[in-house]
Amino acid sequence: VIANRLHDVQDALRAGETTCVKLVEEALARAEASDLNAFVELFPESAMAQAQAVDAKLANGTAGLLAGMVMSIKDNLVYAGHQSSASSNILKDFTSPYSATAVQRLIDADAIIIGRSGCDEFAMGSSNETSAHGPVKNPVDPTKTPGGSSGGPASAVGAGIVQASLGTDTGGSIRQPAAFCGIYGTKPTYGRVSRYGAIAYASSFDQIGPFARSLDDLALVTQVISGADAHDSTCSELEVPDMRAGEAPERMTLGYYPEVVEHDALSPALRDAWAAYKTTLTDAGHELRPLAMPHLDALVPIYYILTTAEASSNLSRYDGMRYGHRAEGDLPLEDLYKQSRSEGFGTEVKRRIMLGTFVLSAGYFDAYYTKAQKARRVVRDQTLADLSQVDAIIGPTTPHVAFDLGKEYSDPTTLYLEDIFTVQAPIAGIPAMSFPAGTDDNGMPFGWQIMSNRFDEPKMFAIARALEALS
């Protein structure tokens, strides 16, 4: 298995104990041997070419920050000359003519991308089961979900096939799988990372972010992919700080929501773990400050009204003409659209397009969309006010550990409740991360989530480092 820190890999490279070519060969072999379904496709040719190029740069001293980092990318990020499908049949066989900014920045920093990892279709889901490429398995227990929607990238890192990966997080799709797979994951501040080349789900929520096996690598990859981009006007012009050089106060004030840690959905194992952790934190001299979260039950409805609205608009471009699968036969235009979209999209995506179209419809727009926008502002303002009086907000990332694959849901909203703790951050636009917190009696991992102020990722990582040093 792979080292947890790129630092150690780079030491080995410098000492001549290994080469990028060897690292890539080993990673590809692990991917081939794995039956987790963590990859939709491997890119052996471009990966080997990159490895050779980076080895040459290492030899002449021009290698970039991520030299030697073997990575995979989520199947909803485009990479020039390679296929990306958002794990949907409607984009089957789509080859991108350009690379996402985040992907290009990885390559420019000499990371090596060995393949694309599957996800829920168009990043809509919490279990990776809506993927057109089949479910991905959890590396800790293959009968369980790795989480979603970035299940493939999380599983690939959790299994030690790759050192790090890129996912996207709209409502928790990086943090929840990170928690389920026992690894690190972060959703940066909205606007920290360019969304150019991320196949859009809900544009005012989507952010690209990394999975890693150590905090160090998490911060490093976040740093490399961050920063202004002429291709994305919502991307911040703020300078990118050294993501590993943040500082945490010696005695921290950590906010938490009693409504969250006492929520009915929280499993007994996590409830107990949280109670014990609270004691650990206070014993170490940190202050745990209860904050009020009067809107907890509104978070998931706000999220699903706004994201489905945005999705219905974003996904209108897949009509079989401009993009995507086209139905066979000589059909009149309207029928061609209908048939192409009916064949190409899966059930969950169709459900969300219909929901989004409904909340945007003339008769209901004010009752749902406008109201949810107003509620979003209330939650954002409250979240920022909460953050102004603490160093960070902390709590469980998910209500429970990874659940069984293949569970039947009579009501899709059951699965929507999985996101109850993770949607606050994207509603408010703030950064958040999940770090490994321990395992339950069956050895299944769970994570603690840290939410921080906008553009305060270095401090968030520093707090995580301080917390990690405690256990």
Secondary-structure breakdown of the chain: helix, strand, coil percentages, each rounded to the nearest 5: 40, 15, 45
Examine residue 34 and tell whether it contacts ligand GLN (CB under 6 A). no
Tell which one of 125, 188, 197, 447 touches ligand GLN (CB under 6 A). 125
Q: Select from 15, 16, 43, 11 the least CA-distant residue to 27.
A: 43
**What is the dihedral sign for C-alpha 424, 429, 431, 433?**
positive
| Interacting residues with ligand GLN between 212 and 251 (CB under 6 A) | none
> How many CB atoms within 10 Å of residue 22?
14
Q: 342 vs 118, 309, 310, 363, CA distance in Å?
A: 22, 19, 19, 25
Place of tokens 């991108």: 96
Cα gap 267→188, rounded to integer Å: 27
Q: Which lies closer to ligand GLN via its Cβ, residue 52 or residue 313? A: 313
Cis peptide, bond prior to residue 214, ω within 30 of zero? no
- Residue 382 CB partners (closer than 8 Å, separation 6+): 294, 295
Q: Which lies closer to ligand GLN via its Cβ, residue 49 or residue 417? A: 417
Q: Select from 430, 397, 394, 436 the least CA-distant residue to 287.
A: 394
Tell which one of 123, 198, 336, 428 touches ligand GLN (CB under 6 A). 123
Examine residue 396 and tell whether it contacts ligand GLN (CB under 6 A). no
Examine residue 154 and tell whether it contacts ligand GLN (CB under 6 A). no
Tell which one of 169, 229, 319, 386 touches ligand GLN (CB under 6 A). 169
Tell which one of 68, 139, 158, 171 touches ligand GLN (CB under 6 A). 171
DSSP assignment string, 396-446: ESSSSSPPBTT---SSHHHHHGGGTTTSHHHHHT--EEEEEEEE-TTS-EE
Cα gap 167→123, rounded to integer Å: 9
Minimum CB separation of residue 108 from ligand GLN in Å reads: 26
Q: 469 vs 238, 247, 284, 385, 434, CA distance in Å?
A: 30, 14, 11, 28, 15
For the question of residue 187 being annotated catalytic, the response is: no
Q: Are 400 and 269 in contact (CB under 8 A)?
A: yes
Minimum CB separation of residue 371 from ligand GLN in Å reads: 20
Catalytically annotated residue among 72, 99, 117, 149: 149
**Contacts with ligand GLN: how many residues (CB under 6 A)?**
13
Q: Are 447 and 178 in contact (CB under 8 A)?
A: yes
| Interacting residues with ligand GLN between 35 and 64 (CB under 6 A) | none
> How many CB atoms within 10 Å of residue 240?
18
Identify which range of 60-68, 120-128, 241-249, 315-323 contacts ligand GLN by CB under 6 A.
120-128
Minimum CB separation of residue 307 from ligand GLN in Å reads: 6
Tell which one of 217, 232, 419, 457 touches ligand GLN (CB under 6 A). 419
> How many CB atoms within 10 Å of residue 177?
38
Identify which range of 7-15, 56-64, 80-88, 164-172 contacts ligand GLN by CB under 6 A.
164-172
Identify which range of 163-171, 209-217, 220-228, 452-460 contacts ligand GLN by CB under 6 A.
163-171
For the question of residue 88 being annotated catalytic, the response is: no
For the question of residue 173 being annotated catalytic, the response is: yes
x-or-dash string of contact with ligand GLN, 281-320, rule CB under 6 A: --------------------------x-------------
Identify which range of 35-43, 117-125, 283-291, 391-399 contacts ligand GLN by CB under 6 A.
117-125
Q: Which lies closer to ligand GLN via its Cβ, residue 170 or residue 452? A: 170
Minimum CB separation of residue 279 from ligand GLN in Å reads: 31
Tell which one of 89, 126, 138, 223 touches ligand GLN (CB under 6 A). 126
**Which residues carry out catalysis?**
74, 149, 173
For ligand GLN, the binding residues (CB under 6 A) are 123-126, 149, 169-173, 201, 307, 419
